[in-house]
Structure formats: structure tokens, C-alpha cells
Structure 1
Amino acid sequence: MRTKIIILGLVISIFFALLAYIPFGFHSLSTPPINHNILIYFFLVSLGLLISYFTAYQLIKKEKDQKIFRIIVLFALIFSVILILIPPIGSADVFNYIFRARIHTVYGENPYLVATGGFKSDLFYNFSPQEWNYLPMQYGPLWTSISIGFSYLAQDSLFWNQLLYKLLALLINFGIIFFIWRILGIISPDYRIRGIFLYAWNPLILFEGINNVHNELLMIFFVVAAIYFFLKKKYLFCLLLLLFSVLIKYITILLFPVFLLFLWKEINIPSERVKIFVKAAVVLLIVAVLSYFPFWEGTNIFQGLLGQSKIASFMNLSLFPSFLFEFILSLKNILMLTLDQIMKIVSIGVMIVFALIYFWQLRLIKQKQDDFIHRNFLILFGYIIYAACFLQPWYFLWFLPLAVLINKKYFPEFVFLFTLAGLLSYTFMVMSIVLVVFFLALLFTSFFTKKSYFSPFLGFH
């Protein structure tokens, strides 16, 4: 059994190494590289990765020896080193991080107020995605501070700037593996090996987290760490870690009510509740103020976030926004609407629907037997499915690390399905089509098999 897993680990290593042919073999200068030959090549490599990943999981399911953990982690390290050595393929976001930090370190401006578009002579201008150059910094101040620190260390070196981010991603990834191992040891020891494997060998997580260096990995690291310390009843520290996640990327602010409601349920003594909540409010406020202090120039520092929130694209609509868009589009001639107007209606409509679903999810937390990790997963996954109007494959990093923690029916299949969807989106270029096809396939399968494949992922019970 171990020999077969080692062989599959070597096969996956080869497939990851083959990704290096995309920038070097095709001599592609763009990120992501776009031409038909590259897309076909990437599709074949992705297919090889997914088949190997799935086959290895079938073997891991039968493995009872906990020592297999070492093999899983060793190969996770090998995969990561390979992806560190390959230039970013699927996204140029890391260059955007570097360039935005240079607004402060090189030009002495506030990156939350000054966009990168005015610095065309900068060394990193042509590396950074041009479509984002009009927008000031949209991430949280903790991520901005990390980026500025890297910029001071690496200065004008393209090599060292990239390497610092990739080394950070490597450390974060193994930090997540550590906390997943610890969490599963508490909640589901028998599922430990399978859960670790699903995360550590996941091709999409490795590709987006290590090769493309998306800050989603650090954001979700703090969420996973916060979940662990919540389970260990270190409530103040868990809320602080969740705040760190929000200060990387704001979307996880949606999880604060979940944590607080479960915390309210956990602490039965009223005086202890008051003590914890007051102490947490003071500590979190101080940390938030200190984080924003170097950049604060009024509420204008949120203009980048506001600008990004208005971005919507038909090619990047998620599942529910796609259906709503098509429905309104079918009424286009009757309603006399332009495509821009339709997109605005869709953007507002999906946020209203998600808000209703969100508060319904919070209401369900009052149930005594509600699952803490599952509810956090449902919130982030729900936003992706119901509200995302500019969905990217790396956004799946928001919920996949939580999905591997849930030892429930269909969750391993869910992880495989969305790993496949994320990788296929690079080949077919239209995320909405990939998700709609998958949804319809599941719907028909559910109808003919008379099994509910959706209920564990919708959470209306």
C-alpha cells in the first residue's frame, strides 16, 4: 500500500514539474499565459494531477497506520518546492502585491490612496496586471504591512520579491497542515489521515497557494488556527486570530457573528460571558486601530475595497448570479435594459439574497447540536455560490481547507469536484459555465438516484 502511495506521489511530482514547460517551453510572457496550445497542455496536466490525487485517496482510505502521515507531508513538501521554483502561471497577483508595496517603500505614498497606474516607469509596472492599476490597495492593513516589509527586504530584486512571498506561502501551508492535524485529532481522529491527505495533496490548493501565491492562503490559515483555539477553549486568542484573517482580506468578517454566537452558547455563566466579550472587544479594537494607524487618512482608505466590490463580469459569475443574469437577460427586450444595467441588478439582487441566507444561517446556530466548523464552511461557501460576481478559482481556497475538516457524507467528493472546477476554469475560461454544468449534472444525478447531494452544502436544516 505504501509503495503505491509513494509511486503516486512521484507521479504527481512529475505532473507538477511539467507545469514548468508552460512559461519556458511555450515562451509565454503573459500571466496567465493564453493560447490554445497552452490551455490544452494545462488541461492534460490538470487531468493527470486530478486522476493521481483521486487514486491516491482511494488507497489512503484503506490505510490505518498513522505513520503514513510522514509520507503525505514529505510529498507535500516536494510538491511545494517544485511549485516554488516555477514562476507564477495562473495569476500575476504576486506582482501586484509587490508593486502596491513599492508605492510606499519607493515612492513614499499611501497605497490605500494612490494607485499603481501613475508609476509606469517602475520596474514592476509591466509585470503587474494592467487591469488593476487604476485601483488603490483593497486588502487589509496586516497584508499591506507584510508586503511593505518584503519590499524593504527585497528592494528592486524580482527574484527575492517573489521568493519571499513563496516562502511565506510554504510556511503558511504547513501551518494549515499542522492545525488540520490537531483539529481532526480533537473532533474526528479516525478521519485524520484522510483529511490531511485531502488538503496536503490537493492540486488546486498547491497551485493557487504556492505557485500563484494568493493571500487567500494566509487569510484561511488564521481562520483554521482560530477554529483550533476555539475548540481548545482559548476564546480570546481565537477571536484575535480571526481578526488577523479579516486584516488580511475582509471577507472573513462574515465569520465573526458565527464565532460570537457559538461562544455565547459555549459559556453558560453570564459573568464569564461579559468578561470575555468586554476583554475581546478592547483587545480587538486596539489591534485594529494599531493596524490601520500607519495608513489612516480617513475613510478614503477604503476606496480600493469599494472599487473592487463593484466589479462584476459575466465570465466570472458564480452559480446563482449566473442563473439570475440569464433570467433577466431573457427579459432584456421587455425591460429595455442594457447589459451594464443587468449586471448592476444582478449584483444588487445576489447581495440581497445572500444577506437573507446569511441571517438564516445565523438563526440556525441557536440549535444546540449545530456544528461549528460546518457552519463556518457554509457561510464562506454560501457567499461563493450565491453572491460572487467576479469569481476566481483561487477563491475556492476560502472553503476547501474547511471542507476537509468535515467528516460527513459527500464531503470528499465535494473537495474533488471543486478542485476539478477550479482547474478546469483555466482551460474553459468561463467559471460560470463550469459551475452551471456541474450543478445540472448533480441535479440530474440526484433526481435519478433519489439521493440528496445538496443538503450538506446548503445548510437550511
Structure 2
Amino acid sequence: IDQPSAYGPTWAAITCFLQWLALPLAGSNNLVLPLLLLRLLGLATHLGSALLIWSISGFLQSERDAHQKGEQRRVLATLAFAWNPLLLFEAAVNAHNDSTLLFFILLAIWLLVRGKPVLLLYSLVILLFALAACLKINTVLLFPGLLLLLWSRGLSLSQLAFCLGLYVGCIVLLYAPFWDGGAVLEVLRVNPSASRNINTLAEFFGQFYNALIVSHFEVTIPIIGSPGERLTHTLSMSLFGICYLWLCWRALRHSWRIRSVRGLIQWLALVWLLYCAIGTPWFWPWYLVTFFGLYALLEASGDSRRWPLTLVRWRGLAGLRRPLPFRLLSLTMLMLYGSYAWALHGAFVPFLPGFKLAYLRGLGAWLLPLLLTWLTDRVANRVGLDSGAATTERLFPRLIPTPAVALVQRLSQPYRLLLQTDTQEKYRQEKEKLRS
């Protein structure tokens, strides 16, 4: 009660409205109805985001993609987002506001692809970005991408200054009632994300560093604010700051300029993925909701086959051109909740004093999808097959039992049966192949 909210005035207004609806029906001592309304809001914004992804992807598809294969890719990407277990869990069970945040961002992109490029339209888009920033302040990282798009579209410096002033002015205006002499800034000090590490690579390396110090010098290290935690927290955020400034600088160059909404989506997706991976050492799975929504647009429009190499030309990222590592990422993020079982917190790694098995959660959640994708490619190359979804169907039936085959195939090509003609006959043939 005495701690300022980590969320901004947008979320405060939404929750107050829901409580105003629930108060006459449930009273002030009943939390069931407000909780139910929050979950219904999360589900509604998730379904609304799925509809926006379907609509936006239709405008993003080029003429060469306006065929049956392009339409199938659009349906698959939309369904993969709508039925993503992580997104459904965070929206309709945990009721986190990231689904509402994603809805605001997708609505802004929808206006960009549908409306005429005039200053009034850009003002509406900026208002939506400001509402998103007043819901979770870290989304200010996405606004420079919008400014770069407007700059590439030929807006004058005075118009760009107006857009920037409108964005900052909206944020200041919405925060003004909560300012309280600067007390709202207290959240930057008391919020654990300002100094703590959890569910990230920074947590793993920080705790590993602490264990090495304890084993060699036999000293006592505090659990909160340990030297390893402070060091890796600072290094992780500094690394993200360097990468973020580099991406902004690249977007200013003529050859890498954000010239279209497709380019904006690619930039936003990469920035948010980097932020979740290294920019916030205090991480929880629902932070990735925004990324999965943006990636669904990339997959539906066909840009995922070139992303992120369109922004970063490094061969090490070539494996990210397929949906498989990101589908696995949604599953490993769900696995993070299992790492809070008592057994993992009560077991320690031998020869590393104080290093719990639970500290491996960040390492596994982020690197396991890349490792599994790499192993798939290695095995595929060894048997002379091309890596990809079709390869997975041909490869894994030879290697692993039937239940695992079905799981891998679902991850590689979800909901493909919905797009086939004569579905029942096709499904019967699929089952016969799996049994053989």
C-alpha cells in the first residue's frame, strides 16, 4: 500500500474503472469479481490482438505473397499467436497487463498500415504509444523507431518536434496527478528490477561468481545486493544500452533506414527481444508478450525468413529465421514457473557453495531453444536433409518415439490440418504415417 505502483496512470485508470464496475455487485471486501474482470480483460485484449494481427498481416503481404501459400502462412501465424499457451496463461490466468500493452502497440501499427500518411493520423499513433508508455514506462524504448519511420517519410523538423512534444506532453499530463512532489519517482529505487536479477543469464553468472568467491575466500555474501548480482546487473544493462544505441544509429543510415511499417515492426521486435534477454536482468515470462505479438506479424508477412538479418548481418543469427526457436522459447518460458518448486531451491550444485539448482533457470530458458534448434540442424545435415519444418516431419520419425514425433511436428507446423482440404482423410493419413 505504501509503495508506489510499478505501473503507470493508464493501468491505474483501467483498474479503477473495473473496480468501479465490480463495487456495486461484489462490495469492497470481495476480490473474486475484480479478479475475474481482470482476467476477462486480459482475454479480450489477447483476442483483440489476434484480430489486429490478422488485419495488419493482410495489408503487409506483398502482391507476390497474395496466393494460397501466403494466405496459409497468415492463418498459421495468427493461430499460433492466438493459441500460444504462454500468452493465454499470462492473459487469462495471470491477468498481466502486457496483453493490454500489446493491444495498444498493435492498434497503433494498424492505424499506420490502414490510414493515410497525414499528421493527424501520426498524432493518433503517438497518443497510443504514449498510453502504452504510461502503462509500462519501459516501452519508451520503442518510440524512437516510430520517430525514425516518420523521419524517413519526409516529415519536417518542425513536424518531428511536434510529434516528440506531443508524446512527452501526454506522458507528463497523465503522470501529473500522481506526481506528489516527485514521490512517484520512488518506484525507481524500491522496485526490485532496479537492482535485482532473476530468470536471466545475469542471475546465473552473478550467482556463479558469488559461489566462486565463497569457495575460494570462505566469506559470507548477502543474498540481496551481492557483489556478483551488482556486477552482472550493471554489465547486462550496459550491454543492452550499447546494442540499443547501435540499432538506433544503424536505423539513421541511408541503407538501414526504417522506410516502411514492415521495417518498423522488424526494428521493434529486435529491440524488445534484446531488452527481455539482456536489458532487464529482472525478468518474468510475461515480458515477452509484446515480442510474440510483433513476431506473429513478421511470420504472417513472411519477413521472419529474413529477420533479424535485415538489421544485423551476422551469420550466427541465421537460425532465428525460422519459427522453431521462438516456439520453443514460449515453452521454456512456461517451464520457468516450474523452477520455483521447493526441490530446486533446496538442492545445491556440488563444489559451488550457495549455488542452487534453481539458478540454472535463466540459462535453460534462454539457451535451450537455441540448443535444440542447433541440434536439429546438425542431425538434419548429417542425414542429408534440409533444415526446416518439412525436414522435422521427415527426420524425427526415424529417431524418436511416436508421442515425441507428434509434439515436434506440432511445434514445427502448428494447426496445419486446418488449412488442408479433405481434412479427415488427411488426418487419417497423418496418423498412419506416425504409426509406421
TM-score computed with the length of structure 1 as normaliser: 0.62
Match for residue 192 of structure 1?
Answer: 74
Give the Cα separation in 2 of the matches to 1:355 and 1:414.
25
Structure 1 residues 438, 174: closer, same or farther in 2, change over 3 A?
closer
Match of 2:166 among 273, 280, 283: 283
Specify the alignment match of 1:27 in structure 2: none
**One of 237, 240, 243 as aligned partner of 1:351:** 237
Task: Determine the structure 2 residue equivalent to 1:95.
Answer: none
TM-aligned CA distance change 1:444 to 1:414, over 3 Å: closer
Could you tell me which of 83, 90, 93 is aligned with 1:211? 93
| Equivalent residues of 1:216, 1:397 under 8 A apart | yes
Q: 2:276 aligns with which of 384, 401, 410?
A: 384
Q: CA 1:277 to 1:432, structure 2 compared with 1: closer, same or farther past 3 Å? A: same
**CA distances 1:211-259 after superposition (whole Å, capped 9, x unpaired):** 1110111111111122222334332221211111111111111011111
Residue in structure 1 matched with residue 36 of structure 2 by the alignment: 163
Equivalent residue for 1:246, pick from 122, 133, 147: 133
Q: 1:338 aligns with which of 217, 221, 225?
A: 221
The AA in structure 2 aligned to 1:170 is L
What is the root-mean-square deviation of aligned Cα atoms in Å? 2.8
Q: Distance in 2 between matches of 1:403 and 1:216?
A: 15
Read off the aligned partner of 2:16 and give its amino acid letter: I
- Mapped contact 1:404–1:415 kept (Cα < 8 A): no
In structure 2, the residue matched to 1:363 is 249
Where does the alignment leave 5 or more consecutive residues of structure 1 unmatched?
1-113, 116-134, 454-461
The verdict on how the C-alpha distance between 1:215 and 1:285 changes in structure 2, with shifts beyond 3 A counting, is: same
Q: After superposition, what is the alpha-carbon deviation per residue over 1:71-105, rounded to whole angstroms, capped at 9, x for unaligned?
A: xxxxxxxxxxxxxxxxxxxxxxxxxxxxxxxxxxx
User: Rg larger in 1 or in 2?
Assistant: 2
Q: 3-state DSSP class of the match of 1:361?
A: helix
CA distance in 2, matches of 1:226, 1:337: 51
Whether contact under 8 Å (1:140, 1:250) holds in the other structure is yes
Instruction: Provide closer, same or farther for how the CA distance between residues 281 and 360 of structure 1 changes in structure 2, counting only shifts above 3 A.
Output: closer
Under a length normalisation based on structure 2, what TM-score does the superposition of the two structures give?
Answer: 0.65
Shift of residue 143, structure 1, vs aligned partner: 0.7
Structure 2: gaps of 5 or more residues: 306-320, 341-357, 389-436
The equivalent position to 2:338 in structure 1, one of 427, 434, 437, is 427
Q: Is the 8 A contact 1:172 1:218 kept in 2?
A: yes
State which of 141, 154, 160 in structure 1 corresponds to 2:9: 141
Shift in alpha-carbon separation, 1:321–1:439, aligned structure 2, 3 A? farther
- Per-residue CA deviation, residues 311-367 of structure 1 (Å, 9 max, x unaligned), is 424xx3323653465367546667979361110111111111110111111122133
Structure 1 residues 152, 438: CA separation in 2 closer, same or farther (over 3 Å shift)? same
Tell me how many residue pairs correspond in the alignment: 315
Q: 1:369 to 1:297 in 2, by over 3 A?
A: closer
Question: How far apart, in 2, do the equivalents of 1:449 and 1:359 lie?
Answer: 38
Answering whether residue 103 of structure 2 is matched by residue 235 of structure 1, we say no
Q: How does 1:22-421 map to 2 (within 5 A)?
A: 115=2, 135-155=3-23, 156=28, 157-188=30-61, 190=70, 191-232=73-114, 233=117, 234-267=121-154, 272-308=155-191, 309-313=193-197, 316-319=198-201, 322-323=204-205, 326=208, 330=212, 338=221, 340-365=226-251, 366=253, 367-368=255-256, 371-406=263-298, 407=302, 408-409=304-305, 410-421=321-332
Taking only the aligned residue pairs, the percentage that are identical comes to 25
